A and B are shown apart, each in its own frame.
Chain A
Amino acid sequence: MKSIDTSTQAPVFELKGSVLTVLVLHIRETDADSLYPQLEKKIGQARSFFSSAPILIDLSAVDEEGQAALDFMFLADTLRKLGVVPVGVRGGAACHSERILQAGLGLLPAVKAEKTVATSVETQSSEPEPPERKNQPESSSAVTSQVPTVAPTKVISLPVRSGQQVFAPEGDLVILSSVNAGAEVLAAGNIHVYGALRGRAMAGINGDATARIFSLQCNAELVAVAGEYVVNESLDQSLINQSVMISLKDGGLDFQVIGSFNPGP
């Protein structure tokens, strides 16, 4: 490599931080006989939706035995064959880092230990619950350094225009105007839209299943809580343009009309 005189050359690239949303594959069981056929079925069903989508593999719900039994190379290959792009693994125990890296996957810190609604029955059969929850924060060094604090709420007072994206990586997001069609609002926590929600709203994007979406006038293109999503076509007619609260219940989205809204003259 020839030495580069950086003092006179104009920079040919920039390294910048960026915030992205990514699909997360939360694995509950790593038994090859059930995992791979189910993956092929689910992803195969909606190939165009998943096509070339970057996907993050989350192992927080998988116990030590399950993680040890998982062949990361095979999993990565299977996912690639199905058309998705596995970018990394989070929530994996430190002892598996070597194997994960060898499979060409990145290592990401686990999410703060939160109790998820869909706790699987299969993996927790023999171990009692309290010790397991205590173990989770220790398995990932990134989590222990995080003291639970209230994350600041992001407040936006202007309309979110088509093509714009507003992201609150921690905490809640409040929009004091409308979210127009073609716009996206995402938050780790709750989303409140004090106006018309005509675009996309995705709450609980880091996996917080207790997140909710509130809007004064709901006619969203797509709403999602912790990955579970519903498109406009599937919204009940009685909800359109009403004040609606959306939450995650029993693995699906629950819609409740919480009032009516008249925009006024």
Chain B
Amino acid sequence: MNKKILLQKEEQKLAKVIVVTSGKGGVGKTTTSAAFAAGLAVRGYKTVVIDFDVGLRNLDLIMGCERRVVYDLLNVIHGEGSLNQALIKDKRVDNLFILPASQTRDKDALSMEGVGKVIATLQQNFDYIICDSPAGIEKGAMTAMYFADEALVVTNPEVSSVRDSDRIIGMLASKTRRAEQDLPPVKEHLVITRYDPMRVNKGDMLSAGDVQEILAISFLGVVPESKSVLAASNAGIPVTLTDESDAGEAYFDMVDRFLGQDRPFRFMDVPKRGIFSRLFRTQ
């Protein structure tokens, strides 16, 4: 018993808080939050993913736990339920937990202090905390990013998404706890979603290089445009927990890169098709 307590004290490292943000809506923040969190859990890290989109919650749907929500983040903040009552354990992966947002209240009910307390408590018990930010630059998004140590900036290879991501990166550098308290800045990682190398070659779509040039932050990887994302969403499975999904593989590559391993950048070029597949026009 004593040995266990000693071990626990040694291992008590605070969880890293990662915000998944973008500025623009609909680029894949919730998909990425779910996939990344599930990926980290599969790799053995105790992870919790929090939905900050009060009033328009989606994370519970994407994670497949919408029928088990009793208490949510706002209930915890207002003391109406405990954190343990609100946290939903994922049925498929050990180590994976979800903290849903409220659907009936609006974002003004979020308080920075309240969120700070929740995150501080979670930091004691987890390895990673993923904050799924809502779109925009209003209270919900600002609260989601405030306590972040690192950020995944999700961007579509498209001009308006790039500009909004640029705006958000500016805010990560100035409106976060780390910026206000003069701590080392939030580490930003660029995640390009819905990438289609054929359209990039045609000139319809911005290339990963173009996006990197404008945003000038550390590149984590691309996620290819994939039909498996919609299917997984509807089935309530994070895309990294589905079988044979290119998007899932891309997310796992990013998780591994995030954890410090070297992974070649896949899905950035048009796949070479052999003569048979071209003859028979197979996908």
Question: Which A residues form the contact surface with B (CB < 8 A)?
Answer: 158-159, 161-164, 177-178, 180-182, 198, 263
Contact = CB atoms under 8 A, between A and B. Distances in A.
Interface of B: 163-164, 166-167, 169-171, 173-174, 213-214, 216
Nearest to A181: B163
A162 B163 contact: yes
A162 B170 contact: yes
A159 B216 contact: yes
B166 A178 contact: no
A96 B243 CA distance: 81
5 contacts: A159-B216, A162-B170, A163-B170, A178-B214, A182-B167
A181 B164 CA distance: 10
Nearest to B164: A162
Nearest to B172: A161
Contacts of A182: 163, 166-167
B187 to A, nearest CB: 14
Given A181-B163, A182-B163, A164 B213 contact: no
Given A161-B170, A164-B170, A177-B216, 17 more contacts: A158-B173, A161-B166, A161-B167, A161-B169, A161-B173, A162-B166, A162-B167, A163-B167, A163-B170, A163-B171, A180-B163, A180-B166, A181-B163, A182-B163, A182-B167, A198-B214, A263-B213
A218 to B, nearest CB: 15
Nearest to A163: B167
Nearest to B185: A158
Contacts of A263: 213
Contacts of B163: 162, 180-182
Contacts of B166: 161-163, 180-182
Contacts of B214: 178, 180, 198
B167 A178 contact: no
Nearest to B170: A161
